[in-house]
Every structure is written in structure tokens, then in C-alpha cells.
């Protein structure tokens, strides 16, 4: 098992978790670590490198704290309102994209009543909705709830 460490310049680069059933550690890093470290991402399952399969999160504990990953999520999510959780969820993303797309569709309809033209506005609205969620709304909510922009620094 490798050691997970915090770098002096920021959050940790990796973290180990242990599959309770086989008692083996899996080191997670990169985008996968960013996903599992954020309690707002709504992850339900992860992979055990030893078993070479995915299992529910309640079957894993963080190696450094021995805390079940679902308990880690619950501990941090107690700080969040249901509205914040909704905005940061996939459902919230879809809702935001739909609202922006609808707004853009109305703009397109007001300018020109051609389906292809309006569809262009709808697509632009979806893209802008995604950008707003990923780069503005979700980071603001993450900072409000966890006090950090990067959940890899949570313990």
C-alpha cells in the first residue's frame, strides 16, 4: 500500500481505501480521486483493485482514518442544505441546463421563428448551463459547504 500524502503546495494527490471484504487497499488518484473525495458527487460505487470489480461505497474505508466512505460523505453533507445538494447534483445540473436552454430558446424564438435557428439557441443554452454549473455554481457551493475549492484536502 502506498502512502497518501498532502503536498506542501496543495491537496493530496492520492488516497488509499480498503475493501472491507478482502482487506486490500486500492490507491486512487487523478480525476477518480477528485470524484470520490467530493461528497456532493453522489457516487454510490467504487472499484477494488484486488477484486477487480466495483462494489457499494459502504464496503470501503479510508486507509488513513478507517472511516467508512459513506460515513465520510454523511459527516460532510450534514453541513449542506438540501438546496445546495440539489444544485451540485446531476439533477441540479440538468435543471440548470434546461432553464438556461429554455431562456435561450425564447431569445431565439423572439428573433426568428425557424426551428433550426431556435435549436441553435437551445444548444448554446445547454453549453452555457454546463459551463455555469461546472465553473461557477458547483465551486461556490463546494467552498460554502467544505471551506475549500478542492475536496481532495478533506480528511
The domain locations on the chain are 14-78, 82-146
CA 110, 116, 119, 123 dihedral sign is negative
Q: Which pLDDT score, from 0 to 100, does residue 17 have? A: 97
Return per-residue pLDDT of the chain as tens, 155 residues. Answer: 344 444 455 789 999 999 999 999 999 999 999 999 999 988 999 999 999 999 999 999 999 999 999 999 999 999 999 999 998 888 889 999 999 999 999 999 999 888 888 999 999 999 999 999 989 999 999 999 999 989 999 98
The HSE-up count of residue 12 (CA atoms within 13 Å, CB side) is 20
Q: Which pLDDT score, from 0 to 100, does residue 125 have? A: 93
Q: Would you list the DSSP string of 29-49? A: EHHHHHHHH-GGG---EEEET
Hey, what's the cell of 64? 488513513
What is the spatial distance between Cα 139 and Cα 58, in angstroms, rounded to a whole number?
A: 26
Q: Which pLDDT score, from 0 to 100, does residue 9 have? A: 59
Amino acid at each position: 500500500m502506498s502512502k497518501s500524502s498532502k503536498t506542501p503546495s496543495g491537496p493530496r494527490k492520492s488516497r488509499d481505501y480498503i475493501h472491507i471484504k478482502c482487506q486490500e487497499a486500492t490507491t486512487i488518484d487523478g480525476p477518480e480521486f477528485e470524484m470520490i473525495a467530493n461528497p456532493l458527487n453522489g457516487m454510490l460505487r467504487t472499484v477494488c483493485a484486488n477484486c477487480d470489480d466495483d462494489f457499494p461505497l459502504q464496503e470501503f474505508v479510508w486507509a488513513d482514518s478507517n472511516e467508512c466512505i459513506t460515513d465520510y460523505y454523511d459527516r460532510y453533507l450534514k453541513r449542506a442544505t438540501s438546496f445546495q445538494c440539489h444544485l451540485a447534483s446531476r439533477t441540479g445540473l440538468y435543471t440548470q441546463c434546461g432553464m438556461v436552454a429554455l431562456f435561450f430558446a425564447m431569445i431565439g424564438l423572439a428573433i426568428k421563428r425557424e426551428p433550426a435557428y431556435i435549436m441553435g439557441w437551445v444548444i448554446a443554452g445547454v453549453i452555457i448551463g454546463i459551463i455555469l454549473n461546472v465553473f461557477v455554481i458547483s465551486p461556490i457551493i463546494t467552498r460554502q459547504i467544505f471551506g475549500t475549492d478542492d475536496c481532495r484536502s478533506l480528511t
